[in-house]
Amino acid sequence: MNLEGRKIIVNKSSKDLSELLKSPENYKEFMPDGLQKFETREDGFKFGLQGMPEIALKIDEVTDEKAVLKSASSSLDFTLTATLKPLNENQTEVQMLFEGKFNPFIKMMVEKPLQNFINTLTDKIEAYK
């Protein structure tokens, strides 16, 4: 299952964004309203949203071109990637891409909430100063 967020322009360099995305505690800024739990770990974070199970993510790779988060749970196999495309010194195009391997039943249950989550992340990153 693949999902895409809309492309946005952030008024930060890709280097500044990648530095921001290397630190687990910074991800709290991008979480949707209804956040009930947020715990940082050395290599990632765990969060809980109202009406959804807790999700643990590991920061797998961060470069000036992308930030890759992977599921820290062996029962869910997915990655969430933020692509970072520099437009100039102070602007970067960002797009969230989700790729997961789910059975058809799970896919049916999670597709809409995940798309909403990606849309909210996109909105929060776009509004970040």
The string of pLDDT tens digits covering residues 74-119 is 778 899 999 999 999 999 999 999 999 998 998 898 899 899 999 9
Distance, CA of 57 to chain centre: 9
- As a whole number of angstroms, the distance between CA 81 and CA 4 comes to 10
- As a whole number of angstroms, the distance between CA 61 and CA 22 comes to 8
The proportion of the chain whose per-residue pLDDT surpasses 90, expressed as a percent, equals 80
For residue 119, the model assigns a pLDDT of 95
For residue 34, the model assigns a pLDDT of 87
Total number of domains in the chain? 1
Residue 11: give its domain's CATH number: 3.30.530.20
Residue showing tokens 């988060």: 69
**Which two tokens mark 52?**
């959804």
Per DSSP, what are the bridge partners of residue 91? 88
**Which two tokens mark 24?**
């687990």
For residue 110, the model assigns a pLDDT of 86
- As a whole number of angstroms, the distance between CA 60 and CA 18 comes to 13
Identify residue 63 by its one-letter amino acid code: T
Identify residue 127 by its one-letter amino acid code: A
Range of the domain at 85: 2-127
What average pLDDT does the segment 50-54 reach? 81
HSE, side-chain direction, 13 A CA sphere, residue 113? 11
pLDDT value at 129 more than 80: no
Of 41-50, 90-99, 106-115, 120-129, highest mean pLDDT: 90-99
Count the Cβ atoms, other than its own, within 10 Å of residue 5.
23
For residue 76, the model assigns a pLDDT of 82
